[in-house]
Amino acid sequence: MDTIDTCYGPLPIEGLVERRPDGGVRAAFLAAPAALATSIGRLVPQHTIDDARRMTKPPVTFHDNGQVRSLPLETRTVVETPAGPLPAELVTFHDNGAVARVFPLNGKLSGYWTEADEAGLAETLPLATPVGRLSAKWLAVAFDPKGRLRSLTLWPGEELPVPTPCGQLPVRLGLSFHPGGTLRSIEPARPVEAPTLAGPVWAFDPDAVGIAGDDNSLAFTPDGETSRLATVRTAVAVRLPDGSRRELAPKVRDSICGDGDHELTPLVLTFSPDAVTAAHGCAKPFAVIPKTGAHFTARPFVSAFAVSFVPKQCSM
pLDDT tens digits along 87-101? 999 999 999 999 999
For residue 108, report the phi and psi dihedrals to the nearest 5 degrees: -95, 120
* Gap between the terminal Cα atoms of the chain: 51
Question: Would you call 102 exposed, middle or buried from its count of C-beta atoms within 10 A (0-12, 13-18, 19+)?
Answer: buried
Give the sign of the dihedral formed by CA 302, CA 303, CA 308, CA 311: negative
Residues 99 and 210 reside in one and the same domain: no
- Identify the domain containing residue 287 by its residue range: 170-306
pLDDT surpassing 50 at residue 316: no
Closest CA to 183 of 191, 174, 196, 173: 174
pLDDT surpassing 80 at residue 84: yes
Whether residue 95 is contained in a domain is answered as yes
Whether residue 147 is contained in a domain is answered as no
Residues 186 and 293 reside in one and the same domain: yes
Question: How far is residue 23's CA from residue 43's CA, in Å, rounded to a whole number?
Answer: 25
Residues 189 and 287 reside in one and the same domain: yes
Whether residue 110 is contained in a domain is answered as yes
Whether residue 152 is contained in a domain is answered as no
**To the nearest whole number, what is the mean pLDDT of the chain?**
90
Residues 114 and 174 reside in one and the same domain: no
* Domain end residue (candidates: 84, 102, 118): 118
Whether residue 141 is contained in a domain is answered as no
Whether residue 271 is contained in a domain is answered as yes
pLDDT confidence bin for 305, thresholds 50/70/90? low
Tens digits of residue pLDDT in 39-50:
999 999 999 887
Residues 224 and 100 reside in one and the same domain: no
Residues 175 and 53 reside in one and the same domain: no
- Domain count of the fold of the chain: 2
What is the distance of C-alpha 271 from the center of its chain?
A: 21
* Domain end residue (candidates: 51, 86, 118): 118
pTM for the whole thing? 0.89
* Domain end residue (candidates: 55, 83, 118): 118
Whether residue 139 is contained in a domain is answered as no
Closest CA to 172 of 188, 152, 151: 188
Residues 114 and 187 reside in one and the same domain: no
Whether residue 282 is contained in a domain is answered as yes
Residue range 261-267: mean pLDDT, rounded: 85
Quote the Cα angle for 106-152-49, to 5°: 5
Residues 301 and 203 reside in one and the same domain: yes
Residues 186 and 250 reside in one and the same domain: yes
